[in-house]
Copies of this chain bind each other. A is one copy, B any other.
Amino acid sequence: MFANREKDSQASQDKDQPRRRQARGERRIAQLLEAAATVFTTTGYTAASTNAIAREAGVSPGTLYQFFPNKEAIAIELGDRLMHEMRETYGEALGPVDPATTLEQAVGQAVDRFIAFNCEHPVFFALMHGPDIPGRIAEEHDALHATLLSRIEGLLSSFLPDADPADLTRTTHMCLGLYKAGLELVLAHEGAERDAYVGELKNALTRYLDPLVGARLGHITAH
């Protein structure tokens, strides 16, 4: 499911006993995370039970708890790997390397990637689920959230280099909010309708950001 993070796993073979064990552990973990992804996607995070995950993974509950102290930890690790995967796929920066990129292009690309990533890793949606209680993001989704925020902030800061940090943070949060709201709608539809929602999401983000991006070339009102 995810790129192998232990690049060095084939490196030395001197201590193969513990190594094999670790390898086995890694496999188990991957297996469990994959199962968790399936279950989270199918039933939603809250409704997912550790027993169901273990069953889906074809292992016993006890085994699951040998690798994860609780459900939360599974979600966290899953989120971590997801973010790792995202970084591996799209690089560290979400944003444009080319300074000539217009906001429209940047947003378009970011949204497209965001959607594509979700389609490949549908669990992403389940893990990003907003808090049940405003302001209290569950710890298990926190890291994911933070990573996304920092990626978005990275992108934004290239367009808003002079923005006040507080404003930037706020804008970032708004963007993530719009993203999530749009994603929900996109995933709820299919075919042409889905595409239309993708377009709307891009519009919403572009238009929201455009007035803020006055100082930069290629900003939309320059058309």
A134 touches B207 (CB 8 A): no
A174 touches B200 (CB 8 A): yes
Q: What range describes how many residues of A lie at the interface? A: 35 or more
Is residue A129 contacting chain B, with contact meaning CB distance below 8 A? yes
Is residue A211 contacting chain B, with contact meaning CB distance below 8 A? yes
A positions within 8 Å CB-CB of B: 41-47, 125-126, 129-135, 166, 170-171, 173-174, 177-178, 180-185, 187-189, 193, 196-197, 200-201, 203-204, 207-208, 210-211
How close is A183's CB to chain B, nearest CB, in angstroms? 8
A180 and chain B: residue at smallest CB distance = B181
A129 touches B126 (CB 8 A): no
A196 and chain B: residue at smallest CB distance = B170
Of B43, B134, B180, B189, the residue contacting A135 (CB under 8 A) is B189
With A133-B44, A180-B181 in contact, is A208–B204 under 8 Å at CB?
yes
Of B132, B174, B211, the residue contacting A45 (CB under 8 A) is B132
Q: Which residues of B contact A188 (CB under 8 A)?
A: 131, 134-135
B178 touches A204 (CB 8 A): yes
Q: Which residues of B contact A182 (CB under 8 A)?
A: 174, 177
Q: Which residues of B contact A197 (CB under 8 A)?
A: 170, 173-174
